[in-house]
């Protein structure tokens, strides 16, 4: 099946055009772009689309997502990460949802993503009580059924939870420490065996799906696990996907645990390289940024989640100027609380303008688009396949109607996409050469039926989770005290490269 789109406005994000719009044609054969140019001439195709008054752009890439949080969307507010995790990722009483509920929660994320122009997601999946192959299979099945491109992880932490939080052992009562300490931990060899089996079963499924190696964070995983996971990631061509320096508490963690920043710790272990993708990277020093840039690693800027959890503002301009590859992500579906990447682009385009009065350093719409497309693909190690519209690449694209309110009057299309559009102008979404959204309707699944089934399943699971929340609430005042202690500490914060304005109690000062 071949498709020819004639005389559309195109934002290709390739090396020749970047984000600069041009008028041209795109020829798609099977799952790939066969040709693209200002005028392809007398080309024959099975289907021809009039592209006038239409904008074609690469599908958006959500560089960091936790679909497992979809069950808790709209449930929590006004809590920093370390408190919020008590309820979303509880320490005690973990009772996993059914396999079908895992499928449904993934599907609701996939449906909203596709309808909002996201064609690739990087889904870092953590299951309460440990992940089984059947549970992971439900996530892959949902993405397979709907037609999305996805990297899906087996997320792990193998350190005792209280060992990952500074001052936890001195500030948490003995009875709670005993309960937390009684929990079992996954073994390194078991995890590696699971990952190898998962890669054999799911890697490159349907030409769209890949298994990803994702140790949670350097403070949550032992050195032997991190090193072995990195070796395995390199061997299968997976990103080494992890979380580093999301919060002030984590900024304290590096010096307290290792006598150095967590980025320096990663560097000294040999874990910073072009396959490394770091979610967040907020509380990084200038030296950290230099190490990351020299290593060629990527970060994923989760701008909305970072605001909701009060985590801070990543130094996006410093990272970009240093040469760090910066992608954009929604992060979790109850710390955002959606996977809509147009929202993320809008926030990324606006937030950094309050970080400095020097408007020459503000983030341009063209840079935001780059981070949401080709740089996102690079962070997922998929830039050779998607992220830009080029001959030979997969046909992952979005067609927007320009005769809509968000594009009227029609000025700089890049500004319209970042500051005006919210996904409502999307007419068609194509993944792997297949139209999966047309006129706002998902073509592979019945959205209404799946949403209805999820509502019923959640109603049955809610009492279980509410009981888990109540049990873990015992930790809340103690974690609140830890959070307050960490956010009041200096610990070299005056040297940190964050664009974040000074917080009360942070004792930031010029040097």
CA torsion sign for 16, 18, 23, 27 is: positive
Residue 396 lies in a domain: no
Task: Report how far residue 286's alpha carbon sits from residue 373's, in angstroms, rounded to the nearest whole number.
Answer: 26
- The answer to whether residue 475 is domain-embedded is no
Q: What is the pLDDT at residue 500? A: 36
What span, in angstroms and rounded, lies between the C-alpha atoms of 244 and 64? 13
Q: How many domains does the chain have?
A: 1
**CA 35, CA 49: separation in Å to the nearest integer?**
15
Q: What is the signed CA dihedral for 410, 416, 419, 420, rounded to 10 degrees?
A: 60
> What pLDDT score was predicted for residue 53?
97
What tokens appear for 9 in the block?
């406005």
User: Is residue 35 in a domain?
Assistant: no
Q: Check residue 506 and give its pLDDT.
A: 30
3-state secondary structure of 38: coil
Cβ-contact 61, 381 below 8 angstroms: no
Residue-range definition of the domain harbouring residue 74: 60-379
- Residue 281 in any domain: the answer is yes
Residue 298 in any domain: the answer is yes
pLDDT at 130: 87
Residues in a beta bridge with 428 = 399, 438
112 CB contacts (<8 Å, ≥6 apart)?
Answer: 338, 339, 340
**Distance (Å, rounded) from C-alpha 213 to C-alpha 193?**
12
Residue 110 belongs to some domain of the structure:
yes
> Of all helices (H) and strands (E), which one includes residue 369?
helix 365-372
- pTM for the whole structure: 0.95
Q: Within a domain: residue 440?
A: no
CATH number of the domain enclosing 302:
3.20.20.140
- pLDDT by residue for the chain (511 residues), tens only, comes to 899 999 999 999 999 999 999 999 999 999 999 999 999 999 999 999 999 999 999 999 999 999 999 999 999 999 999 999 999 999 998 889 999 999 999 999 999 999 999 999 999 999 988 899 999 999 999 999 999 999 999 889 999 999 999 999 999 999 999 999 998 888 899 999 999 999 999 988 999 999 999 999 999 999 999 999 999 999 999 999 999 999 999 999 999 999 999 999 999 999 999 999 999 999 999 999 999 999 999 999 999 999 999 999 999 999 999 999 999 999 999 999 999 999 999 999 999 999 889 999 999 999 999 999 999 999 999 999 999 999 999 999 999 999 999 999 999 999 999 999 999 999 999 999 999 999 999 999 999 999 999 999 999 999 999 999 999 999 999 999 999 999 999 855 433 344 433 333 332 222 2
Asked whether residue 17 is assigned to any structural domain, the reply reads no
139-165 pLDDT, tens digit each: 999 999 999 999 999 889 999 999 999
């Amino acid at each position: 099946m071949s498709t020819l789109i004639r005389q559309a406005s195109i934002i290709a994000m390739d090396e020749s055009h970047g984000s600069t719009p041009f008028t041209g044609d795109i020829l798609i054969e099977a799952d790939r772009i066969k040709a693209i140019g200002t005028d392809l001439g007398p080309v024959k195709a099975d289907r021809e689309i009039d592209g006038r008054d239409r904008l074609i752009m690469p599908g958006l890439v959500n560089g960091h997502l936790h679909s497992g949080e979809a069950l808790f969307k709209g449930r929590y507010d006004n809590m920093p990460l370390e408190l919020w995790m008590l309820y979303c990722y509880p320490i005690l009483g973990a009772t996993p949802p059914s396999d079908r509920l895992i499928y449904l929660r993934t599907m609701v994320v996939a449906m909203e993503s596709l309808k909002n122009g996201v064609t690739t997601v990087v889904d870092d999946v953590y299951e309460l009580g440990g992940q089984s192959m059947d549970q992971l299979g439900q996530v892959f099945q949902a993405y397979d059924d709907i037609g999305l491109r996805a990297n899906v992880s087996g997320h792990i932490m193998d350190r005792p939870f209280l060992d990952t939080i500074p001052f936890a052992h001195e500030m948490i009562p003995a009875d709670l420490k005993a309960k937390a300490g009684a929990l079992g931990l996954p073994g390194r060899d078991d995890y590696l065996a699971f990952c190898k089996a998962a890669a054999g079963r799911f890697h490159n499924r349907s030409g769209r799906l890949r298994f990803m190696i994702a140790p949670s964070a350097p403070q949550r995983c032992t050195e032997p696990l991190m090193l072995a996971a990195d070796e395995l990631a390199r061997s299968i061509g997976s990103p080494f996907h992890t979380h580093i320096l999301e919060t002030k508490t984590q900024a304290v963690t590096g010096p307290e645990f290792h006598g150095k920043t967590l980025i320096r710790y990663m560097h000294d272990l040999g874990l910073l390289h072009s396959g490394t993708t770091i979610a967040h990277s907020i509380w990084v020093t200038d030296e950290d940024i230099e190490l990351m840039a020299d290593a060629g690693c990527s970060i994923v800027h989760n701008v909305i989640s970072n605001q909701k959890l009060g985590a801070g503002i990543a130094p996006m301009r410093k990272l970009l100027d240093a040469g760090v590859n910066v992608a954009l992500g929604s992060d979790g579906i109850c710390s955002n609380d959606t996977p809509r990447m147009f929202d993320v682009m809008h926030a990324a385009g606006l937030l950094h303008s309050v970080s400095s009065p020097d408007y020459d350093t503000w983030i341009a719409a063209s840079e935001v688009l780059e981070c949401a497309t080709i740089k996102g693909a690079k962070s997922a190690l998929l830039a050779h396949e998607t992220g830009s519209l080029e001959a030979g690449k997969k046909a992952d694209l979005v067609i927007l109607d320009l005769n809509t309110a968000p594009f009227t009057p029609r000025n700089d299309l890049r500004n319209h996409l970042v500051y005006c559009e919210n996904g409502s102008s999307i007419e068609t979404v194509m993944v792997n050469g297949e139209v999966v959204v047309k006129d706002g309707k998902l073509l592979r699944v019945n959205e209404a039926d799946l949403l209805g089934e999820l509502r019923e399943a959640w109603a049955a699971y809610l009492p279980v989770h509410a009981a888990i929340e109540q049990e873990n609430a015992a930790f809340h005042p103690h974690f609140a005290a830890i959070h307050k202690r960490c956010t009041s500490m200096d610990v070299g914060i005056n040297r940190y490269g964050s664009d974040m304005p000074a917080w009360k109690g942070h004792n930031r000062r010029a040097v």
